[in-house]
């Protein structure tokens, strides 16, 4: 599955997010800010989702056991119209499996009134609670979403299981939901196989980009030296600005997709994809091809020339040219471009840029 295939699979979703690397308390605030930015006009549901995001993410941080598997954890979100879903995956000790299973199944047997009574009882220290208050967290998830989370277990080895949790929230209480169909956990095998550290699909407004930037900044600080960290952040901004400026509106939406992957030998690959007109896609292809054979000196000359044009000419074509040249500079020429024609009017274009470790 390439970036276009993933975008196509998520085409009907308003927002999708997946996070697989560096789970820590410091990332929680950035995740909340991301939800606040994208749900700015939905105050009531925003508060519930912020609570659920915090609870689910913190559960992964606090209740994950160490495993030897790479990318053994997932926090994912999907939103489509009034339906919002959250998924988590993390390793647990096998001995915890039965207790978790019994706790969730017990919740499933309770009426709303009984669920409230169990919640009040758990606050006073009743024995429904388990490790670190995870029982209380499950109760709150069920109360906030008006439905008990779905779950599953997969064996990792003789000592560990992988625990998957899916919950779904509808803005309309009478709206039926299908958690299993809307779960980001469905894409977990792809994320692991492709070494995806983070993915987001949706509208990339300035507020959303700022929150995403903070989350990525915190993540990269753990993995890169200062110089590479700074270069990666500049590259991310340039790619997102290029995507945001050139995405066309389809069905009333201007959606794109952004992905960070672990590259060979510890480097990072930043990818963006979005829809443009066929004419613009061909112009981009021609422009990229004209830069492919330039050495570093010629590339710098081209950049300075475009920069001078941009200072005296405010049209988007020159600004876009400068942005692409800036991306080439930051990646030492490690920039790939792909174009997929969707129909007679629209193409999907993607950029893949690598920062070597």
- Domains annotated for the chain, with CATH where assigned, are 24-191 (3.30.565), 223-357 (3.30.565)
User: Can you give the pLDDT of all 357 residues of the chain as single tens digits?
Assistant: 899 999 999 998 999 999 998 888 888 888 999 998 999 888 889 999 999 999 999 999 988 999 989 999 999 999 998 999 999 999 999 999 998 898 888 888 888 888 888 777 777 665 444 433 346 788 888 888 888 889 999 999 999 999 999 999 988 866 555 544 578 999 999 999 999 999 999 998 888 888 888 888 877 656 555 556 788 888 898 899 889 888 998 888 889 999 999 888 778 899 999 999 999 999 999 988 888 777 777 777 777 777 666 545 554 444 456 778 888 888 877 789 999 999 999 999 999 998 876
Tell me the sheet residues that pair with 273: 257, 350
Smallest CA-to-CA distance from 198 within 63, 23, 349 is with 23
Q: Which residues contact 74 (CB under 8 A, 6 or more apart)?
A: 18, 19, 20, 87, 88, 89, 90, 184, 185, 188, 191
Answer yes or no: pTM beyond 0.85: yes
Side by side, the strands of the sheet bearing 83-93 are 150-155, 160-170, 83-93, 74-80, 15-19, 196-203, 255-262, 268-277, 346-355, 335-341
Residue with tokens 């979403």: 145
């Amino acid at each position: 599955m390439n970036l276009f295939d993933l975008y196509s699979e998520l085409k009907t979703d308003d927002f999708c997010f997946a996070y697989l690397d560096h789970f820590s308390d410091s990332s929680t605030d950035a995740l909340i800010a991301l939800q606040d930015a994208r749900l700015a006009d939905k105050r009531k549901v925003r508060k519930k989702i912020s609570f659920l995001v915090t609870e689910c993410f913190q559960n992964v941080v606090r209740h994950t056991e160490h495993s030897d598997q790479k990318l053994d954890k997932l926090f994912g979100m999907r939103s489509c119209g009034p339906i919002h879903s959250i998924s988590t995956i993390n390793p647990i000790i096998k001995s915890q499996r039965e207790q978790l299973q019994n706790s969730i199944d017990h919740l499933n047997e309770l009426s709303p009134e009984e669920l409230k009574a169990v919640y009040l009882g758990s606050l006073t220290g009743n024995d429904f609670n388990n490790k670190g208050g995870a029982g209380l967290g499950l109760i709150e998830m069920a109360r906030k979403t008006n439905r008990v989370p779905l779950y599953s277990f997969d064996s990792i080895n003789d000592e560990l299981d992988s625990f998957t949790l899916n919950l779904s929230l509808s803005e309309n209480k009478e709206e039926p939901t299908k958690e299993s169909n809307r779960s980001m956990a469905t894409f977990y095998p792809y994320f692991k196989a492709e070494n995806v550290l983070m993915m987001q699909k949706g509208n990339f407004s300035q507020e959303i980009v700022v929150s995403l930037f903070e989350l990525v900044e915190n993540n990269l600080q753990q993995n890169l030296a200062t110089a590479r960290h700074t270069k990666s952040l500049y590259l991310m901004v340039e790619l997102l600005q290029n995507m945001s400026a050139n995405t066309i509106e389809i069905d009333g939406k201007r959606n794109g997709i952004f992905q960070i992957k672990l590259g060979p030998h510890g480097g990072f690959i930043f990818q963006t994809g979005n829809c443009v007109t066929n004419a613009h896609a061909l112009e981009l292809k021609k422009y990229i091809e004209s830069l492919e054979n330039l050495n570093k000196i010629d590339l710098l000359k081209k950049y300075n020339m475009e920069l001078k044009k941009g200072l005296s000419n405010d049209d988007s074509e020159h600004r876009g040219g400068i942005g692409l040249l800036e991306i080439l500079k930051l990646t030492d020429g490690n920039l790939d471009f792909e174009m997929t024609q969707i129909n007679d009017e629209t193409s999907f274009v993607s950029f893949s840029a690598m920062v070597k470790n």
